[in-house]
């Protein structure tokens, strides 16, 4: 059976840097609280009305991944695009990416809605298509524009200081080499906690005309909600479980991981997992300090930077893991 390898990585973040001190001007928060509770120093926000959108940022990350893979756009057979913040309610950004990258062929484009786990779910989909031989080369993109939808007042501070905008992408390709590339992926969900981290409206049960008619600025269902403590406790538990599952499935132990790239939800979560797994600092990659939580973009963005910095080398055992809204959680083990 064929294996799927990542042959190119790329990322893009908007130029506009929003420091914790900038948020102090908008809401009752402070740099010390944000750094102590989350590790975040700054994040990127798009400039409203500018050229950056979820799809255009995804396209920029994709172009870098395609270039690093040393292939042409038209070598790609299929697109998988993960986001919770699409340009439009529908269609999803996959088709926009197909248009923006200038494909000659009318290749398929799939949109994935699994929030913070979206990239690993997408990687898993690409892996299955490649393993079965349906596609040879698949582009997987994660991109988010959170900034436009956050409640930038004190009311929303528990969420809005955490999230940032950005994009990451990988090119995956079939290889005959066994034991190389994606070794396994592990996907989970627990829908009973759907409302613990969610953006409820607009919903098909309460559609836009009702919203316009009510015109109620206190209707916070139009902003993301997170039960922070509850999400934190579940994240810590599920991260450990799903990483353990990936290791067991491949008969590896934690000390054999060369690089763990966790979804960048909170530096404290990453550090807790690192401690539990007894991993040294140089085997866990974090960049939440500079970008905040970029949801589906966070893992490919971190992976791309880790590759760029020479921290991921050929033959390394790489572990990706994510937890987030749904709840959904996932892991992937990759022999680079
Ligand atoms: O990516 C998806 C997965 N996401 C996660 O895994 C995130 C999980 N949760 C978290 O990262 C943390 O729970 C948060 C960073 C969201 C919050 O940290 P916490 O240590 O759980 O703080 P808390 O919610 O318990 O709030 C502590 C205090 C509260 O004040 P009182 O009630 O103690 O007076 C909050 O009102 O901090 C207050 N607070 C803030 N203060 C300053 C909440 N947000 C802020 C803020 N600035 N931005």
pLDDT digits (tens, 9 = 90+) for 30-69: 999 999 999 999 999 999 999 999 999 999 999 999 999 9
For the annotated catalytic residues, the residue numbers are: 116, 263, 293
93 C-beta closer than 6 A to ligand 1: no
299 C-beta closer than 6 A to ligand 1: no
146 C-beta closer than 6 A to ligand 1: no
Q: Which domains does the chain have, with CATH numbers?
A: 3-179 (3.40.47.10), 182-283+296-335 (3.40.47.10)
**Distance from Cα 157 to the centre of ligand 1, integer Å:** 8
Q: What is the pTM of this model?
A: 0.97
Do 200 and 84 contact (CB within 8 A), yes or no? no
- Give the pLDDT confidence of 99-131 residue by residue, as tens digits: 999 998 999 999 999 999 999 999 999 999 999
| CA-to-CA separations, 169 to 41, 86, 286, in angstroms, rounded | 24, 16, 17
- Give the pLDDT confidence of 191-226 residue by residue, as tens digits: 999 999 999 988 888 888 888 888 888 888 889 999
- Give the pLDDT confidence of 178-189 residue by residue, as tens digits: 999 999 999 999
What is the atom index within ligand 1 of the atom nearest the CA of 29? 47
How confident is the model at residue 298, as a pLDDT?
Answer: 98
CB atoms within 10 A of CB 66: 22
Q: What is the mean pLDDT of residues 280-302?
A: 98
Residue nearest to atom 38 of ligand 1 (CA): 158
Closest C-alpha to 44, from 299, 290, 308, 296: 290
| CA-to-CA separations, 147 to 15, 81, 160, 180, 238, in angstroms, rounded | 13, 19, 8, 38, 27
Is the backbone peptide bond immediately before 91 cis, with ω within 30 degrees of 0?
A: yes
**Distance from Cα 12 to the centre of ligand 1, integer Å:** 28
78 C-beta closer than 6 A to ligand 1: no
Closest C-alpha to 112, from 130, 93, 97: 93
Report percent pLDDT > 90 for the chain. Answer: 93
**Distance from Cα 108 to the centre of ligand 1, integer Å:** 40
Query: CA–CA separation, 111 vs 89, rounded Å?
Result: 12
Residue nearest to atom 16 of ligand 1 (CA): 228
Mean of the per-residue pLDDT values for the chain? 96
Which of 158, 263, 325, 328 has most ligand 1 atoms within 8 Å of its beta carbon, as the pocket-test mutant? 158
**Distance from Cα 34 to the centre of ligand 1, integer Å:** 9
Query: CA–CA separation, 288 vs 271, rounded Å?
Result: 12
**Distance from Cα 37 to the centre of ligand 1, integer Å:** 7
Beta pairing class for 17-19 and 42-44:
antiparallel
33 C-beta closer than 6 A to ligand 1: yes
């Amino acid at each position: 059976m064929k294996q799927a390898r990542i042959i190119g990585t790329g990322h893009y973040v908007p130029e506009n840097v929003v420091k914790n001190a900038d948020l102090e001007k908008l809401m009752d928060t402070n740099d010390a609280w944000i750094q102590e509770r989350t590790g975040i120093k700054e994040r990127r926000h798009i400039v409203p009305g500018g050229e950056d959108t979820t799809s255009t940022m995804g396209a920029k990350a994709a172009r870098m991944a395609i270039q690093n893979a040393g292939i042409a756009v038209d070598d790609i057979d299929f697109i998988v695009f993960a986001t919770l913040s699409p340009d439009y309610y529908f269609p999803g950004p996959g088709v926009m990416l197909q248009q923006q990258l200038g494909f000659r062929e009318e290749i398929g484009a799939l949109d994935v809605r699994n929030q913070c786990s979206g990239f690993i779910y997408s990687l898993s989909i690409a892996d299955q298509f490649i393993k079965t031989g349906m596609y040879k080369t698949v582009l997987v993109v994660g991109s988010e524009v959170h900034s436009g939808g956050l409640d930038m007042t004190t009311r929303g501070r528990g969420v809005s200081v955490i999230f940032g905008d950005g994009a990451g992408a990988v090119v995956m390709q079939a290889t005959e080499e066994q034991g190389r590339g994606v070794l396994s992926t592990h996907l989970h969900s627990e829908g009973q906690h759907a409302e613990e981290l969610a953006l409820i409206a607009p919903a098909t049960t309460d559609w836009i005309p009702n919203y316009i008619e009510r015109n109620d600025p206190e209707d916070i269902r139009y902003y993301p909600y997170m039960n922070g403590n509850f999400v934190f406790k579940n994240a810590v538990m599920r991260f450990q479980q799903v990483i353990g599952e990936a290791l067991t499935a491949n008969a590896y132990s934690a000390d054999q991981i060369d690089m763990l790239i966790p979804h960048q939800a909170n530096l404290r979560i990453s550090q807790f997992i690192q401690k539990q797994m007894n991993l040294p600092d140089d085997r866990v990659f974090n960049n939440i300090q500079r970008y905040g939580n970029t949801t589906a973009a966070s893992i490919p963005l971190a992976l791309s930077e880790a590759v760029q910095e020479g921290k991921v080398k050929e033959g390394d055992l790489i572990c990706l893991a994510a937890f987030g809204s749904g709840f959904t959680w996932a892991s992937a083990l990759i022999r680079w």
